[in-house]
């Protein structure tokens, strides 16, 4: 297989985005557009990847800088042909050069492999059929169907603008001819730019074969030049993710209402309700059920567990057969063992909770180690912060904690103890027995509630 260099053109400003953020750094599924294109390029295992950047240069470098990427600055944006010329000193003179775009993130690896394979005999252009081709360069073909030119919309005639086959901008070129073709480009066009598409007639004049590969899905050609187009690409990306999940046997209550902003891996018989968001790396084991309106970020959920609606789980590990939520918040550093129940309006942070323990209502468990078979009553909190430092609470096995208890860390509640409702525990307790703050309850006969005096107003 011939050596491959990939050049990603990413210098555009994106004025129609109406944003100070460079166009290629706008997020798609939680990652910059350019990062998606770089990931696709890496999958092709090229000799080198060269990124041509311009507007917002330092931001672009910080966002995607990596040892396997070469960055070249295009100081003046004079067109795609001029941009590719900036990369020439960093490219090989043999093999194939593949040109990608930092704002065209949905092209598939298999599609690009077909484009590269077609370039073995010359130059290959990736095209797409669009129902609404406005804004794209059109593919002009001769009587025999062979491509004769690519005409940008601003330079196209009325008849040419009716053509629905468009240029995606992506092409594979023979590296040995690249420098010669780029040096012959002119800028006699409506935008006074050096178009890379003008290499097509140059190749034909040099009797070099020019082939086309049609994208299997129109979404592969979509580029983001405005927030509206970015939203369209986001939906296309999410539909692709949903389709792949369905193909793997995941049950989606509504495939149009799921957002995957990272990597989502699912076992068998996983069910996901509507409006769920998955960020970073999320792993759902067999028979996991995710209720509506949940957000999971960098989280693992064990087999048979159920996450009830409106629950947020962030950088946590949930064991098998757990029940979490509804309206629970599981914060980073939390580890739940099997069959743990975390109920409504319970927050857990940086804590390990052992098997069969429960906190079913309105509690905060922070910086804690909780043993097996522990029951934590409604309204209980761990007071883990003294104003300067965090301290740890230890609740050993078989402890029962009543409602409205405050555990003032650092403190240990020993095995088998029972803590009465309303108790403040500020020192370690012995095992077993009952822990309470001694107090009495009085009844005052004849006591009357205070009343508000009526104010008489003058007529």
The domain segmentation of the chain, as residue ranges, is: 4-221, 250-435
pLDDT-derived band at 269, boundaries 50, 70, 90: very high
Q: What is the CATH number of domain 250-435?
A: 2.160.10.10
- The reported pLDDT for the residue numbered 144 is 86
* Mean pLDDT value across residues 119-141: 90
pLDDT-derived band at 349, boundaries 50, 70, 90: very high
* Mean pLDDT value across residues 295-302: 98
The pLDDT mean for the chain works out to 94
- How large a percentage of the chain has pLDDT more than 70? 99
- The reported pLDDT for the residue numbered 1 is 52
Residue 76 has pLDDT above 80, yes or no: yes
Model pLDDT for residues 183-199, shown as the tens digit of each residue: 999 998 888 999 999 99
Residue 459 has pLDDT above 70, yes or no: no
Residue 131 has pLDDT above 70, yes or no: yes
Contact assessment for residue 106 and residue 237, using Cβ atoms and an 8 Å cutoff: yes
Residue 231 has pLDDT above 60, yes or no: yes
State how far the Cα of 81 lies from the Cα of 192, in Å rounded to an integer.
12
Asked whether the domain spanning 250-435 has the same topology as the one spanning 4-221, the reply is: no
Tell me which residues are annotated as active site.
361
Burial class of residue 33 (count of CB atoms within 10 Å of its CB; 0-12, 13-18, 19+): buried
- The reported pLDDT for the residue numbered 411 is 98
Ranges 45-54, 127-136, 362-371: which has the least confidence: 127-136
* Mean pLDDT value across residues 295-320: 98
* Mean pLDDT value across residues 299-328: 98
Ranges 83-87, 216-220, 443-447: which has the least confidence: 443-447
Ranges 50-54, 115-119, 296-300, 338-342: which has the least confidence: 115-119
Our CA angle for 67, 72, 75, nearest 5°, is 150
Model pLDDT for residues 421-431, shown as the tens digit of each residue: 999 999 999 99
Model pLDDT for residues 355-378, shown as the tens digit of each residue: 999 999 999 999 999 999 999 999
* Mean pLDDT value across residues 259-264: 97
Of 188-202, 227-241, 435-449, give the range with the top mean pLDDT: 227-241
* Mean pLDDT value across residues 280-285: 98
What does pTM read for this prediction? 0.89
DSSP per residue over 171-240, as a string?
EEEEHHHHHHHHHT----STT----GGGHHHHHHHTT-EEEEEE-SSGGGG---SSHHHHHHHHHHHHHH
Our CA angle for 25, 30, 32, nearest 5°, is 20
Contact assessment for residue 222 and residue 104, using Cβ atoms and an 8 Å cutoff: yes
- The reported pLDDT for the residue numbered 440 is 80
- Which residue would you say has higher pLDDT here, 440 or 261? 261
Class of domain 4-221: alpha beta
- Which residue would you say has higher pLDDT here, 54 or 396? 396
């Amino acid at each position: 297989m011939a050596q491959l260099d990939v050049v990603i053109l990413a210098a555009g400003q994106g004025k129609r985005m109406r944003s100070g953020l460079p166009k290629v750094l706008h997020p798609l599924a939680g990652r910059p557009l350019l990062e998606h294109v770089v990931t696709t390029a890496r999958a092709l295992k090229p000799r080198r990847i060269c990124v041509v950047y311009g507007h917002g240069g330092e931001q672009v470098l910080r966002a995607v800088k990596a040892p396997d990427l070469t960055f070249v600055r295009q100081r003046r944006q004079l067109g795609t042909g001029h941009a590719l010329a900036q990369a020439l000193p960093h490219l090989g003179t043999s093999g194939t050069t593949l040109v990608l775009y930092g704002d065209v993130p949905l092209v598939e690896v298999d599609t690009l492999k077909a484009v590269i394979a077609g370039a073995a005999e010359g130059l290959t252009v990736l095209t797409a059929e669009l129902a609404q081709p406005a804004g794209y360069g059109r593919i002009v073909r001769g009587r025999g169907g062979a491509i004769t030119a690519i005409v940008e919309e601003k330079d196209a005639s009325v008849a040419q603008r009716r053509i629905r086959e468009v240029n995606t901008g992506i092409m594979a070129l023979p590296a040995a001819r690249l420098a010669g073709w780029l040096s012959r480009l002119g800028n006699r066009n409506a935008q006074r730019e050096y178009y890379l598409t003008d290499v097509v007639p140059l190749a034909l004049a040099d009797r070099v074969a020019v082939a086309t590969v049609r994208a299997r899905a129109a979404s592969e050609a979509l580029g983001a030049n405005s927030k509206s187009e970015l939203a369209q690409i986001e939906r296309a990306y999410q539909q692709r993710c949903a389709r792949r999940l369905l193909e793997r046997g995941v049950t989606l209550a509504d495939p149009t209402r799921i957002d995957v902003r990272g990597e989502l891996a699912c076992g068998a018989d996983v069910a996901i309700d509507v409006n769920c968001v998955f960020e970073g790396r999320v792993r759902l084991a067999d028979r996991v059920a995710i209720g509506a309106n949940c957000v999971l970020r960098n989280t693992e959920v064990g087999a048979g567990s159920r996450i009830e609606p409106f629950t947020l789980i962030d950088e946590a590990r949930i064991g098998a057969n757990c029940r979490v939520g509804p309206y629970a918040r599981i914060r980073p550093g939390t580890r739940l063992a099997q069959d743990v129940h975390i109920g409504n309006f319970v927050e857990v942070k940086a804590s390990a909770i052992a098997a069969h323990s429960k906190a079913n209502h309105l509690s905060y468990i922070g910086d804690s180690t909780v043993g097996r078979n522990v029951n934590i009553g409604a309204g209980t909190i761990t007071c883990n912060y003294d104003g300067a430092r965090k301290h740890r609470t230890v609740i050993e096995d078989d402890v029962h904690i009543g409602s409205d208890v405050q555990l003032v860390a650092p403190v240990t509640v020993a095995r088998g103890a029972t803590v009465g409702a309303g108790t403040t525990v500020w020192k370690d307790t012995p095992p077993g027995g009952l822990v309470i703050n001694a107090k009495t309850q009085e009844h005052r006969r004849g006591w009357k509630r205070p009343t508000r005096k009526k104010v008489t107003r003058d007529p």
